[in-house]
Structure formats: structure tokens, C-alpha cells
Structure 1
Amino acid sequence: MATIRQTESVRRSRGVEQLVAGRATSDGAGVKLTRVLSQGLQHRLDPFLMLDAFGSDDAQDYIAGFPDHPHRGFETVTYMLAGRMRHRDSAGHEGLLENGGVQWMTAARGVIHSEIPEQEAGRMEGFQLWLNLPARDKMNAPWYRDFAAAELPRFTTDAGVEATVIAGESHGVAGAVTREATAPLYLDLHLPPGGRFAQPLPAGHNAFLYVYRGEASVAGTAVPAQRMAILANDPEADGVLIEAAGAAGTRALLIAGQPLREPIVQYGPFVMNSEQEIYRALGDYREGRLA
């Protein structure tokens, strides 16, 4: 049962630095998705590398899924709003991601995995976030865990905002996952019409809001559905105040983290700190040395 929490106060909210519209693309075996956080924003939103949003009622848009593919050097966080996706990887992990569940995978030194829908009809909707690893952790052993919807910490504020805490901490509620180096905050917020939500944020952390239903307002700037608002790094701000706009309420992801401030070198599914490390990753993959 969700706990009712008093709304936290934010003395001065961060503003919106930029609104970003995602780019329609496809990945895997042709799965249609929207790339919201792309490679060009990786340094600005360090430690986050990518955010994909996918959602369709047409099975042809997702049925082929993501057959075997490698990763090295970062973590993937898949949040499923609707649908069923089967995960298998070369480290021996297997799990079924269902409505409201989260799959957290630390690729680290390398895994080859697949994500295949276990449905032939109905809606498939969710998000995949890529979170960078510090250089010291990129060659650690891979790690994986599934969280069913019922396992994710939740609370409701006295203003009626329902929050799911996937990572970090909000209103005294610890999330499902914590990470020391990147200190990620990952909240799914459901704001009723006229609802307000305040979240303190460390001044040095990068943060963004992605609205996936309805419309939000942040410091007087409207954030429409399917837009990412990059929140300004204002040293005088102590957090962000989010308000629902419109009659239907708002659903949004609030994501923030501590930047690593390390070189980012990406080649497809590999994210390392130098070109030499990318060449090594490619060689290890071709020669079957990934975990």
C-alpha cells in the first residue's frame, strides 16, 4: 500500500533550459521507437546516455523484438508500462518483464542478450534508459535483476500525486536501486489535474523531465506530451516544482543524476572512455570473449 507523504518544499525551482522532441527511429529487428535522449545530449545530461520511448497497439511495430545483441560499459533500465518482454543473456540471466515492472541490467565488461515480446497482440509501451558506468566499473562482472510492479516502492503525496521510485530517494522513500557513483533518481509521477510535485535536487546533478501523458508546467514553461524538458543547472535552485496542466492530469518521468565528467566514447552498443577500449570491445565480441 502506498504511503501518504507530505509534499516536500522547494524554495526555488529549476527552470527549463530546452525542450526536446524525440526522433522516430527503429532498433533491434525493426522495433519502432522514439529516441528522446540521443548521442548529442550525452555530455549535457551526463551520466545518462540514451532514453528510448516505445508504444504501439500494432504488433508489427514490436513483434520482432530485440534479438541477441551485445553491450559493454553501461547499465540499461527498462521500464514496462504495458506488455510482456522476455529477457535472456549470456551471463545466464532470464526474466519476464510485465506491466509496471523494471529490468535493471549492468552490462559492465559485457553481455549478449535478447529482449523478445511474449505477446502477439495488444499494447506494448515503455522506456529504456542507458546509464553510464564510471571508468573504474566498466570491466566489472555483469549484474541483472527484474523488479515486478509490486516490488517497486510507491507513495502518494497529500496533494494526490502518485510516485513510483525506481531509483534514488524521494520524500523519504528509497527506490528499488541505488548507485553511489551516478546517484540516479528515476521517478514515474502521476499528477492529478492541478496537482503539484516538489523534488529537491542537488545543484550539481543533471536532470530532465519527460512528459508521456498530458502536459506539465515547470517554472512557467509548458512541457507538452512527448517532450523532454532539460532542467537548467541553476546554482540558486534547490530542486524542481512540477505542475499538472490541463484537465486530464499528467504522467511524467523525472530523471536526475550525478555527472561522471569522464570521456564518453560510444560505438553502437559499446560505451567506453577511449577509442582503444572500443577496439578491444569489438575484438572481444568478434572472438566470443564477452560474458
Structure 2
Amino acid sequence: MKLREIKKIWTVNEQKVSPIHTAGPVLAPGNWMDYDPFLLLMEDKFEKGAFDVHPHRGIETLTYIIDGRIQHYDNATGAGGILEKGDLQFMTAGRGVLHNESPLDGEKVHLLQLWVNLPGKFKMVKPRYQNMHAKDMPVREENGALIRVYSGSSGDIVSNTLNYAPVTFVEIVLEKGSSAIQDLPGTYNGYIYVLEGSGTFGENKVEAKKGQAMWIGSADEESSSGIQLLANENLRLVLFAGEPIKEPVVAYGPFVMNTEEEIRQAYQDYHAGKFETLED
């Protein structure tokens, strides 16, 4: 197994969007080649009313609840329900959805939302929701480490999440002084975001703490690789990695396609109300 280094580390800065919404760009939009297959990752803290119903096309989103409770709705599948701390929603927007995520009355929600690019051949698939409750997720436990597997695998623990583009998304909780290695296919591009505590990461032993993100170094196409994690104090983080798609990215607002023409078509379909009437 090739043990990877940390290629880059940075601190996420929270910005005030409105009196009821702050946001921190963990992966800021626009760096399509570096992030591939990911598009952006935002850390949001908000109350009811911060967002309204809005559309998406051509992507999948992973919404991970750090704290609070959120109610979600979409027009394409009729899906709805409440997600709580530690839960994750894997939404495939595909050809188009109108949806909203809203905190329950009087609550403030703290979450991460990761946008994953869809390969061109899957950009117009039927929308799909997968709601993943923390209590139901497969877990790998060893030597003071708990790894909850929402997508992909960790060791011999494999999730049954459906992916159009292969993605690993895990929450890792380590007791002070404990360590673990998260395995990844050698071709995957990956990132770590520290939610609580501090630790030492990678073969080059980079130290990071709450609010800092890291880009995992490449494995030079090795068939098997891993990233070492050591808790300097009680540590909680999310790690996500995926197979680069290596396709053109044209993004405008909530739509991400391969060409300008496809973006224009997305807006035409949205304004014509077709997101509400698209059928198989």
C-alpha cells in the first residue's frame, strides 16, 4: 500500500451572507481541474428562510449534517423528511430537480454540502435521493477509531450507496492518541476537513486542527493507497475522495454541464417549467 502525503493545507474562513446565514468555502468553486470529480464544498450555518426552493442539473450533492435538524423537499421524487446530526443526504440532481433544505422552526443548522460532478453520460439521468441516517450506516471500529462509511469503503466495511461517479465519503472519529489508515484507490483525488480537535496527517506528518482542510497527495496511480491519521486530541473529521472524471466543466449557477449549449438548454428547460414535468 502506498501511503500518501498531505499536498496542501488551508484554513476555512466563515463569511456572513445574511443575518441568518454564514458560509465558509472549504472547496471554493472554479478550481475544476484540481478538485475533479468534486466541484465545491461549502460549510453553512443558517436558520429557516436563508434558502428558498431552487434548481439543480448535472450534479450530485452530499449534504452532511454537523448539527441541528433540517427538513428537505424535492419536486422530482416527492422525497421528504428530516435529517439530524450525523445524517447525510445523497441527491442525484441529474436532468433536473427543484428542492429546498430548511431548518426546523427556531433551529440553526450547521452542515456541509459537497457538489460532485456527474460524468457527461449521466448528466441527464432520472433524479434520485438516498437518505442516510447515522445510526444505519456501516461502521469500522478499531483501536480507538470509529469510521462511519456513507459511500465507498473503509477497510473491509463497504457501503451500499449507489454512485454514478465512484466516491468515498467517511466520517472519522479518533480518541486522543489513537490512529488509523483510511484506504483509497490509488487513482482517487481526496480531501480532509477537520470538524473537531486536532491531529497529524499523512506520511509528511502535517498538523491540522478544527476549521482546516487538506488536499491529499496523489498515489502515482498505485492500485492501493492510504492516508494516515493520528489524533493529537479527540478528533472528528470528514474525508472524501473520488475518481476524476477528466471532462470539460461548464458551470453557471446551480447547473453544471459539459458545454455552453447544455447550460443554455438547462436554463430554457427551467424557465419553461420542464423540471416539474420531465418524465422517463
TM-score scaled to structure 1, two decimals? 0.87
What is the aligned partner in structure 2 of residue 209 from structure 1?
Answer: 192
Gaps of 5+ in 2: none
What is the aligned partner in structure 2 of residue 90 from structure 1?
Answer: 75
Q: CA deviation at 1:32?
A: 1.4
User: Partners of 1:184 and 1:211 in 2: how far apart?
Assistant: 19
| Number of aligned residue pairs | 271
What is the aligned partner in structure 2 of residue 37 from structure 1?
Answer: 27
User: Partners of 2:16 and 2:248 in 1: how far apart?
Assistant: 27
What is the aligned partner in structure 2 of residue 165 from structure 1?
Answer: 149
Q: CA deviation at 1:110?
A: 0.3
Q: CA deviation at 1:94?
A: 1.4
Alignment of 1:1-291 (within 5 A): 11-25=1-15, 31-55=21-45, 61-91=46-76, 92-121=78-107, 124-157=109-142, 159-179=143-163, 181-218=164-201, 219=203, 220-235=205-220, 238-245=225-232, 248-291=233-276
Q: CA deviation at 1:154?
A: 1.5
Alpha-carbon RMSD across the aligned residues, in angstroms, is 2.0
Q: Which amino acid aligns with 1:45?
A: Y
Distance 1:286 1:26, change over 3 A: farther
Q: Is the 8 A contact 2:140 2:154 kept in 1?
A: no
Q: CA deviation at 1:29?
A: 9.6
User: Partners of 1:71 and 1:25 in 2: how far apart?
Assistant: 24
Partner of 2:124, secondary structure, is coil
Q: CA deviation at 1:27?
A: 6.4
Q: CA deviation at 1:28?
A: 9.5
Larger mean CA deviation between 101-110 and 30-39 belongs to: 30-39
Partner of 1:290, secondary structure, is helix
Distance 1:25 1:215, change over 3 A: same
Distance 1:155 1:50, change over 3 A: same
Gaps of 5+ in 1: 1-10, 56-60
What is the aligned partner in structure 2 of residue 8 from structure 1?
Answer: none
Q: Is the 8 A contact 1:77 1:104 kept in 2?
A: yes
